[in-house]
Structures are given as C-alpha cells and as structure tokens.
A and B are shown apart, each in its own frame.
Chain A
Amino acid sequence: MTPGERRGGCRTTAAESAVAEAFRQEWGKIVASLIRMTGNWDLAEECTQDAFAAALTKWASDGVPDRPGAWLTTTARNRALDRLRRSKTEAAKLQEVAVLSVPEEPAAWGDSGVPDDRLRLMFTCCHPALTLEARVALTLRTLAGLTTAEIGRAFLVPEGTMAKRLTRAKHKIRDAGIPYRVPPAHLLPERTTGVLAVLYLLFNEGYSASAGGDLMRPDLTGEAIRLGRLIAGLMPDEPEATGLLALMLLQDARSAARLDPRGELVSLEDQDRTKWDRAKIAEGIALLEAALRRQRAGSYQVQAAIAACHAEALTPDATDWAQIALLYGQLRTFMPSPVVDLNRAVAVAMAEGPEAGLALVDELAATGELAAYYLLPATRADLLRRLNRGPEAAASYRAALNLAPTEPERRYLAKRIAEVSG
C-alpha cells in the first residue's frame, strides 16, 4: 500500500510523517533497551519493527499519541513479552522474567550517570572482537535502523551476504560473551577510539566512495553525522567525540560544491564557495572550539581544525596554508601516516611554493609506502603542472589515472592530462 492508496488523506500523511520522524528519533533507543531487557538481538529488532508497523495503522486511525516514543517503546516491549510467552523454551522464560523485572521507562533516561542504552549498543556493535565490516553493518542496522538491503546496497554487497554477515556478528556477540555495556574506565579510551573510527569510516565511505560509479553517498554521511551527534551528546566529556562531529560537519558542508552539474569532481581550489553550507560550518566551528577548550587535543580535533581553516577562507587565496601545514605537523604526532605526510606536503607547497612541496612528495615517493595510492602521483602531477613541467606532469597524471578508484576521479585526471598535454 502506498500513501496515495490510503484513505483519510491529511491524517494519513501526518501519521506517516510522525512515524518517519519517530523512526529517526526512537529506533536505536527502543532496540537498545529491548536488547538490554532480553539479551536477544533478533527479537529486539523484530519487535521494534513490529511496533513501527503498528504505529502506521494505529496513528492513522486514532491520531498521533502525545508521546510517540513512549507509545512505541511500550508496544515493542509488549510484543516482545507476547512472543516470549508463546515460546516454550527455558531461555525465553528467563528473558520474559527479565523484561517484566525492568521498569517500563527508566526514570533517568539518558541522564548523566545512567548510561544511555544506545551508548551500550554502540560500544557493543563496535567491539574489537568483531570484524570492521561487521561493526559498521551492525551499527547501521541496530542503531540507525537501516534495512539489511539498504546496508548491502551501501557497501555493494548482495543482501543475502549482508544478512549472513549480520547474523554471524550477532551470534558471536551472544556465543562469545561480548558484554552489553559501556566499557569500564580502563578500557574506555581505546574502545571509544574504536567507536569513533567506525563512525568516521562510515562517513568517509559516504563522502568518497571507495568503489563504484557514485562519488558520494549522502545517506551514509547523513547517518554518520546523526550517530556522531548521538555519541558527542552522550559523551560530553570526550573532546574527540565532539571533534569528530565537528570534522564531519565541516567536511560535509562542502558537499554541494564537490561535484559540478555533470557529476564531475571539483577540486577544493575550484569549488564555488557560495555553495558551502554556512550553517554547518558555523556549527562545526562552534563544536570544535568547545572541544579544544578541554585542552585534550586528538587527531579528530586537529583534522577538524584543518577543515575549519579551509571553511573559513572565503576565497582559495585567503586560505591560511602556513597554519594548515603546522596542523598537519601536529596531526603526525597523533596519527603517523604517509597520507598525513602527503597532505602536509600539499600545504607546504601552498605556503612556500610548489618546489618545497615537490621535495617532500618525492621524499615520500622514495619510501614506496604510498605506491598504490592514486593521490600521490596526482599530487606530484599538480605540483609539476604549477612548475610548468608539462610532460612530467602528464606522466604523473597517467600514473594516477591507473590507480584512481572511481569514475569521476578518473574523468578529472583525464581532463588534467588533456590540459597539460595541450
């Protein structure tokens, strides 16, 4: 049944949009609390799904309840109780007792001191004993409420494969005794880093797709930002969580300018900066400043600071490249990586001239560490082009073309080859 086929026009639409809104707000909360009560991940997901299905018809006929979240939670919980009662197994009986002994609505829902169920869920989904792919998929399924088919599409994996991956991960959580909790203090720093890494991976998968014809998948960046807001809100004392949210917002603010009308990649330098989302930039910078005031810098805060330098420049010439080069130097202490060194070389080239940058890039190329990374020859080619060394630039662009992962990137490089060869 599509919305148009339903009778009752306006009311149906109002109910549908209320359900859609409640889905965004409540899905993860309800799944997380049902998992806490029953310890049964599949039951939690299915009953939550049933509650939303029931809301679609019930709210259309009776109107939207005053507290949609409470209505959905109660419906899902009762549904879980029904199913456990009908089941005759011992395990189900124990789970039923557990559900009945839990107060229907925790009094201090999300208050500080009482860990929010969603935080438990997030840490459990991102447990290091699961594969990285499983962590990402579980987070999207249980916290964000994406369907198995949607997650499969996002990662270019058939739905059946994704379903198996999710089932296997849930079984491992149950059978290997992965605890459903926010880790204790001695594990918290490393596990928090793990959760943030999963969210940033999710964001990057959406922001620069690693495969396929699309350069960006806004559904994934949107989910990553939403979950980033959640964890930054739930962990207010963790400046890196806020730093990650700031970083994602500042990068995402540029998304409308990253592709031209034909879907071609536009370099940062050539982007129409009036298309940058000023509200997201302002929010990102405010979050970054709040995080930095805690005086515990980390890689996400430094990366957000770099993104802020770009975001604050109204024209490419106004960019404070010297500051960016400094920040990349700082980033190396948190995150030693040849990719960071490559970015620092670009910043140095902008601050001090292409010669200085090229020297750093060649140093990096000599180590062989980035041999398969298309941005190394692409960067080298750009610097050679600026130095008017056309034939060498063309050769480097061609090397980059062979390594570039997506179509738009390959088209961009082909365009550059034509320019320097012409």
Chain B
Amino acid sequence: MRYMLLMCGEETAPENAPHPVPDGDDAEPCWMPWAREMQARGVLLVEGSQLQPTSTATTVRNSGHEVLVADGPFAETKEQILGYDVIECADLDEAIYAASRHPVALAGGVVEVRPVLASV
C-alpha cells in the first residue's frame, strides 16, 4: 500500500528549521539514515521533502463564481505541516514503523499517516 507521511510540528522550533544542504563529499542530509533503514526493510521511498514555512503558503478556494486566494495555510494551528514523504509498504504496521523512526518523530514531532486513495 501507499501512504503519505505528513510531518507536523512547530515550524518555529529550531529542530524543525529547514535542513541546510551539507557541505563536503562525505556529508549527508539528516534523513539519509532513515531512508537507508527503510530501504533495508523493503519500504519504498517514493518521494518526499521538507516544505517551505507556512509564511510562503497560499490558500485557494473556488466559490463557483470566483477564485479566492488568501495568504497563509488552510488552518492556523499551533503546529504546521513541515514536510511529507510518500512511501510504499506492506501494511499500516510498516507505515507506523516508518513514521516512528522518522527524524521529525524522533525530535518530538507528530507524523500523520494517511493511506493514499489510488495507489498507482
């Protein structure tokens, strides 16, 4: 099955700041160990990324008569969506494991696990 992991946390917290691209040949981004562990378990990482902060977000609605565009995320909450990963794995137990090992979860954030409706 295919699942989307939505990483949620306070975007202003230092541990949730966008990860800089590391310098040097040996350096790797902080999520690489997670990706390697998932690959070794047979969890396929389809795609994923951190997101720019909600200050860059735009909300779009279509009332039927006009397109309403607004600045900001769809819901103003204490925690925001920080990033996402789409994974392909056997079942919810595997997806829960992948979420529990994600750097955002290990740093105290919350990961929402959502099955993707149409798995291509």
Contacts and interface: CB of A to CB of B under 8 A. Distances in A.
Contacts of B3: 177
A177 B115 contact: yes
B15 interface: no
Contact of B1 (A127, A129, A177, A183): A177
Interface in A129-150: 129
B93 A187 contact: yes
Contacts of A176: 92, 113, 115
B91 interface: yes
A124 to B, nearest CB: 11
Interface string A169-206: 00000011111000100010000000000000000000
A178 B1 CA distance: 10
A123 to B, nearest CB: 10
A179 B115 contact: no
For B1, B92, B113, the residue with the greatest tally of chain A CB atoms inside 10 Å of its CB is B92
A177 B93 CA distance: 8
B93 A183 contact: yes
Contacts of B113: 176
A179 B96 contact: no
Nearest to A186: B97
A369 to B, nearest CB: 24
Contacts of B96: 129
A381 B95 CA distance: 51
Chain B interface secondary structure, helix, strand, loop or mixed? mixed
Interface in A108-130: 127, 129
Interface string B81-120: 0000000001111011000000000000000010100000
A165 B92 CA distance: 20
Interface in B50-72: none
B115 A178 contact: no
B116 to A, nearest CB: 10
Nearest to B115: A176
Contacts of B92: 127, 129, 176-179
A171 to B, nearest CB: 11
Nearest to B3: A177
Contacts of B115: 175-177
Interface in A257-302: none
Contacts of A183: 93
A129 B113 CA distance: 10
Contacts of B90: 177, 179
A183 B3 CA distance: 20
Contacts of B95: 177
Most chain A CB within 10 A, of B90, B91, B95, is at: B91
Nearest to B2: A177
A187 B94 CA distance: 11
Contacts of B1: 177
Interface in B1-34: 1, 3
A187 B90 CA distance: 15
Contacts of A177: 1, 3, 90-92, 95, 115
A351 B85 CA distance: 59
A183 B96 CA distance: 13
Nearest to B95: A177
Contacts of A178: 91-93
Nearest to B90: A179
A278 B90 CA distance: 49
Nearest to A187: B93
A179 B97 CA distance: 13
Contacts of A127: 92
B29 to A, nearest CB: 27
A200 to B, nearest CB: 23
Nearest to A191: B93
| A-B residue pairs, 5 tightest by C-beta | A179-B91, A177-B1, A177-B91, A177-B92, A178-B92
22 contacts: A127-B92, A129-B92, A129-B96, A175-B115, A176-B92, A176-B113, A176-B115, A177-B1, A177-B3, A177-B90, A177-B91, A177-B95, A177-B115, A178-B91, A178-B92, A178-B93, A179-B90, A179-B91, A179-B92, A179-B93, A183-B93, A187-B93
Given A176-B92, A177-B1, A177-B90, 18 more contacts: A129-B92, A129-B96, A175-B115, A176-B113, A176-B115, A177-B3, A177-B91, A177-B92, A177-B95, A177-B115, A178-B91, A178-B92, A178-B93, A179-B90, A179-B92, A179-B93, A183-B93, A187-B93
